[in-house]
Amino acid sequence: MEIRVFTTSEELARAAARRVAESLRQRPDVVLGLPAGRTPIGVYTELRRLAAAGEADFSSATAFALDEFVGIEHTHPASFHRFIREHLIEHVGLPHERFHGLNGAADDLQAECDRYEAAIQRAGGIGLQLLGIGGNGHIGFNEPASELPAPTHRVTLLDGTRRASAALFDGDVARVPREALTIGIGTILKAESVILLAEGESKAASVERMVRGPITPQLPASFLQAHRAVEVYLDRPAASRF
């Protein structure tokens, strides 16, 4: 893993956005895997600026959202599909028919996961996967467990993850869905490159275990040790356990 530590959140966002823009220059039809969450907001803001300045061209790119809550439509305020569309896709000229999200409100959730996995494979797999990390070491919604399914799948959320997501539901943890759909660890590991972003003291322990600990399904991000092209962008608090 290549670890990069930044003094400010702005520097981290600028560097990660430049890295994405570089990837678009090298391969205009790159397939991006994109997370929701607080951490990538600065990167998406910077990517909007680069796109407006003509320094990032998304017109031939494809993008897949990383995960979604079960039971909510893509128009719901807490939808990750909506989040990524509003923070990035609508503003950078990526054609909307090439932005894919998981439908958490599908009648048949297994069929939805299979459809999504097939769409990713049809697109040629993920070229550049951006990730955040949960305080418990999850990536996407791949929660710590005794084993981790490889492809896109349905998952039961842990209490801590539901509490951490309450802000998206007016602070009411009871309204946070108990399940989610997520791209699996196998799909993430098949991406050509991975950039993981982490900010803040609350991520320091899971970041340290991701980099130094054993590869274990109890810390899903540790599987990234098995990937040959992972860059980790950290602010100082997230890097404070090294």
**Based on CB atoms, which residue is closest to ligand GLP, 11 or 57?**
11
Phi and psi angles of residue 117, each rounded to the nearest 5 degrees, phi first: -60, -40
**Are 135 and 160 spatial neighbours (Cβ–Cβ below 8 Å)?**
yes
Residue 136 annotated among the catalytic residues of the structure: yes
Question: Among 35, 42, 104, 127, which residue sits at the site for ligand GLP (rule: CB under 6 A)?
Answer: 35
**Based on CB atoms, which residue is closest to ligand GLP, 25 or 163?**
163
Residue 67 annotated among the catalytic residues of the structure: yes
Residues 127-156: x where in contact with ligand GLP by CB under 6 A, - otherwise, as a string = -----x-x-----xx---------------
Question: Among 46, 67, 112, 235, which residue sits at the site for ligand GLP (rule: CB under 6 A)?
Answer: 67
Residues 163-192: x where in contact with ligand GLP by CB under 6 A, - otherwise, as a string = --x---------------------------
Smallest distance from ligand GLP to CB 225, Å: 18
Strand 153-156: give its sheet, edge to edge: 67-69, 179-182, 153-156
79 binds ligand GLP (CB under 6 A): no
- State both tokens at 198: 């982490």
Q: Which residues of 170-209 are buried (b: 16+ CB within 10 A; e: fewer)?
A: eeeeeebbeebbbbbbbbbbbbbbbbbbbbbeebbbbbbb
Closest residue to bound ligand GLP by CB: 132
Phi and psi angles of residue 136, each rounded to the nearest 5 degrees, phi first: -100, 10
Distance CA 9, CA 235 (A): 6
Smallest distance from ligand GLP to CB 180, Å: 7
Distance CA 41, CA 33 (A): 15
Q: Which residues are catalytic?
A: 67, 136, 138, 143
Binding site for ligand GLP (CB under 6 A): 35-39, 66-67, 132, 134, 140-141, 161, 165
